[in-house]
Structure 1
Amino acid sequence: MSLAHAVLTSLIEKPSSGYELARRFDKSIGYFWHATHQQIYRELARMEEKGWIVSDSAPDAGATRKREYKVLPDGRAELVRWTSEPAAPMDLRDEFTVKIRADAALNEVDLSDELRARIAQHTERLAHYRAIEARDFARKEAMPRAKRLQHLILKKGIMFEEGSIAWAQEALAVLQED
């Protein structure tokens, strides 16, 4: 997936200034596709050059250079084209997994502290996701399709965090057996 497609998706949801987009990105798509604000601004410039988006002075710009970005028909067509292509399966490349393998080979490394830290991080993220779920998705019966799809994405994050916690706890138990 390219950053452009994540940005197009976000702009279709709501035209925004670069700053607003970057903040919204941090609070939604940023959970599963990380980008710095600088990367987002560079991508906005590239997308505007391609004719996928257009920017105009934001209504609240005043004397600033604040721009509001909107998706053009070519940008919408690009997003449709991209979503129509099969996505590559998620590739699990995790440095910590290699550390566990190294510990198996060396039998002299203690990864317990790192595992505890990971459990704490995943627990914190899980609590955050559950708070979002309670706040935004409490009334499941009345949700339109778009909101149910957004909930599915959040559920994937919840399941990932739950699985990561369970795996790390099992790994910690194995490390503590010796």
Structure 2
Amino acid sequence: MSLPHAILTSLAERPGSGSELARRFDRSIGHFWQATHQQIYRELARLEASAWVEATAVEGAPGRKRRYRILPAGRQELERWTGAALAPPAIRDELMVRLRAAGEVDPGDLTHELDRLLNHHRAQLATYEAVRERDFPHPPASRTGLLQLLVLDEGIAFERQRIAFCEAALALLRNP
């Protein structure tokens, strides 16, 4: 996946200014595809140059605030990309390699790092569960809502799996 497609997806869901898009990105798609606000603004300029999005000045707003919306060519690109063949994701997980290495060398106490990761995954799980409770108190009626819930539930399942993995690794390291 590429950042332009993540931004096009967000703009297809709802137009907005660059700052609104960056905030929405942090709260939703950013959980699955990370980008800095600077990267988002640079990509918005590229998307506008490609005529995939349009920016209009926001009257009365301080500075050069602009509101972005997806154009038909951007929607066509998003449709093309969404329908293209998808390569299975490659696992590239530094923790897995570090744990394998810990079987061969003495890295010292890895439990502090695993505790830190465990706390991170617990906090992320709590965030996802709060979003689910707030945004999906009832099953969505629309296809869009159902797909958004499916993605959120996958994030919840991922965080639960990582919590279980970190707990198992900690138990092993503490009681070999």
- Residue 166 of structure 1: CA displacement? 0.4
TM, length-normalised to structure 2: 0.95
Q: Which residue of 2 aligns with 1:75?
A: 74
Q: Which residue of 1 aligns with 2:163?
A: 165
Q: Which residue of 1 aligns with 2:64?
A: 65
TM, length-normalised to structure 1: 0.94
Q: Where does 1:120-131 land on structure 2 (aligned, <5 Å)?
A: 120-131=119-130
Q: Give the secondary-structure state (helix, strand or coil) at the position aligned to 1:4.
A: helix
Q: Give the secondary-structure state (helix, strand or coil) at the position aligned to 1:106.
A: coil
- Match status 1:117 vs 2:116: yes
Q: Which residue of 1 aligns with 2:8?
A: 8
Partner amino acid for 1:15? P
Q: Where does 1:28-47 land on structure 2 (aligned, <5 Å)?
A: 28-47=28-47
Partner amino acid for 1:128? T
For residues 33 and 147 of structure 2, what CA distance do their matches in structure 1 show? Answer: 17
- Residue 87 of structure 1: CA displacement? 1.8
For residues 18 and 46 of structure 1, what CA distance do their matches in structure 2 show? Answer: 13
Q: Give the secondary-structure state (helix, strand or coil) at the position aligned to 2:35.
A: coil
Q: Which residue of 2 aligns with 1:156?
A: 154
Q: Give the secondary-structure state (helix, strand or coil) at the position aligned to 1:101.
A: helix
Partner amino acid for 1:28? S
Q: Give the secondary-structure state (helix, strand or coil) at the position aligned to 1:70.
A: strand
Q: Give the secondary-structure state (helix, strand or coil) at the position aligned to 2:10.
A: helix
- Residue 83 of structure 1: CA displacement? 0.5
Please give the root-mean-square deviation of Cα atoms over the aligned residues, in Å. 1.3
Partner amino acid for 1:71? I
Pair 114,108 (structure 1): closer, same or farther in 2 beyond 3 Å: closer
For residues 13 and 165 of structure 1, what CA distance do their matches in structure 2 show? Answer: 31
- Residue 29 of structure 1: CA displacement? 0.5
Q: Give the secondary-structure state (helix, strand or coil) at the position aligned to 2:56.
A: strand
Aligned-pair identity (%): 50
**Corresponding pairs, count:** 176
Structure 1 runs, 4 residues or longer, greater than 6 Å off = none
Q: Which residue of 1 aligns with 2:27?
A: 27
- Residue 95 of structure 1: CA displacement? 1.2
Partner amino acid for 1:100? L
For residues 25 and 107 of structure 2, what CA distance do their matches in structure 1 show? Answer: 42
Any stretches of 5+ residues in structure 2 without a counterpart?
none
For residues 155 and 167 of structure 1, what CA distance do their matches in structure 2 show? Answer: 18
Partner amino acid for 1:49? A
- Residue 20 of structure 1: CA displacement? 0.8
Q: Which residue of 1 aligns with 2:143?
A: 145
